[in-house]
Every structure is written in C-alpha cells, then in structure tokens.
C-alpha cells in the first residue's frame, strides 16, 4: 500500500476518522456523519459560497496532492479555510456523501479530489450490512455495487424476504429486481460449474 495522504487544514478528529477508514474501520467516520441531522447542508459554512470555489481548475483526481497544495496554496487557501471551519459532524457527512455519490472532482470536507482517491477505492470495497438490511426492509438506500450484490445474495438465500419491499429499497422496479436475481443466480451457477458455463458461453457465439 502507498503512504496515507497528508492532510492540511484538517481537524484532528476528522483526520483520525479518515485514517481509520483507510484501515477498513469506517465506524468513526460514519458515527460522526450520523450526528449531522437532516439539515446538515444548511449548517455547512460553504452554503453561503459559490460551489465554483470548491472546484479549483488546478486540481484533478490524478494530481499529486502535496505538489498541488504547495504550488497553489494561495488559490486553495480560501476553500480549505472554509472547510476547516466546518463542524465535525457536517464535514464527516459531507465526506461520506461524496463517497456515496462517487464524486471524483472538487474539494470535499477539506480533502482534495486526489486525496480522496484512496478513500473512494476503499469505500467501493466495503459492505455496509445495516444499509443492505435497510434496503431489504424497503427503506430507500443508496447501495454500492458490492452492497447490491450482498442484497441479491440475501434475497436468493431467504425466500421469506419481501421482494416488493426490496425493490423499493433498492430503487428499482419489481420486474427489474427479478431480472437482477435471475442474473445473480446464473452467475453463482457459473461459478459452481465453470465447465458448463464455458460450454454455454461458446454455444451462444
């Protein structure tokens, strides 16, 4: 693994939560974000600024963050100062939402896009069991691709689960959910019997 990102103008508590997340412990970050409340965006200091301020042209996901911060400190000073003044719960929620939406550009919670890249990769590989359970109960929940696969696995294994509720929670139609389940079950069969899967694939050509 590469070195952990170096954070500047970053609250120690949020920095600690991010470092934990990079080590696959998401609880500190998610717990902090969970206390932000429904109107968290209204409580963010950046709400009174133009969003353009947080999308500097000098910075991209593939940039070297330390070089960008060093060479463009004057243009980054204002947006990073605004982020540094943000309450912990709000900045944590801002960061979590950017990961859920897979934002690849812009400054979020005081992190440059290039500094969030490793965090976004780690986020995509995690499975939030509670989020999956909520979706299966019918609570509209944004799931990652891995979490959706987990939901499909649970649905396939447990016939007592309500597919209509799951469709609502996953924001798909019931018809589309059945198609996803069929594809998921076929994929499992292909893994269990790769020889027949390869023969079937050849016959389709």
Count Cα neighbours of 28 within 13 Å in the Cβ-side half-sphere: 15
Give me the residue spans of the domains in the chain. Answer: 12-124, 129-204
The percentage of the chain sitting over the pLDDT mark of 90, rounded to a whole number, equals 58
- How far is residue 20's CA from residue 13's CA, in Å, rounded to a whole number? 11
Low-confidence ranges of the chain (pLDDT < 50): 1-8, 197-198, 202-203, 205
Lookup: tokens for 72: 């463009």
Average pLDDT, the chain: 86
Pair 132, 147: CB distance under 8 Å: yes
pLDDT digits (tens, 9 = 90+) for 93-104: 999 999 988 899
Reduce the secondary structure of 137-188 to three states and give it as a string.
Answer: CCCCCCCCHHHHHHHHHHHHHCCCCCHHHHHHHCCCCHHHHHHHHHHHHHHH
């Amino acid at each position: 693994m590469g070195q952990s990102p170096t954070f500047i103008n970053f609250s120690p508590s949020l920095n600690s939560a991010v470092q934990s997340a990079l080590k696959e412990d998401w609880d500190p970050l998610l717990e902090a974000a969970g206390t932000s409340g429904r109107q968290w965006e209204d409580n963010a200091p950046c709400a009174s600024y133009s969003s353009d301020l947080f999308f500097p042209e000098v910075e991209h996901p593939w940039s070297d963050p330390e070089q960008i911060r060093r060479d463009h400190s004057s243009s980054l000073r204002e947006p990073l100062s605004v982020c540094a003044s943000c309450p912990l719960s709000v900045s944590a929620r801002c960061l979590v939402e950017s990961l859920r939406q897979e934002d690849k550009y812009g400054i979020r919670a005081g992190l440059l896009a290039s500094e969030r890249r490793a965090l976004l990769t780690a986020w995509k590989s995690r499975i939030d069991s509670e989020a999956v359970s909520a979706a299966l109960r019918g609570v509209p929940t944004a799931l990652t691709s891995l979490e959706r696969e987990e939901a499909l696995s649970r649905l396939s294994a447990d016939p007592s689960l309500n597919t209509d509720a799951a469709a609502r929670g996953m924001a798909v139609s019931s018809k589309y959910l059945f198609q996803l389940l069929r594809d998921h079950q076929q994929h499992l069969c292909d893994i269990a019997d790769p020889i027949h899967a390869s023969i079937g694939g050849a016959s389709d050509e």
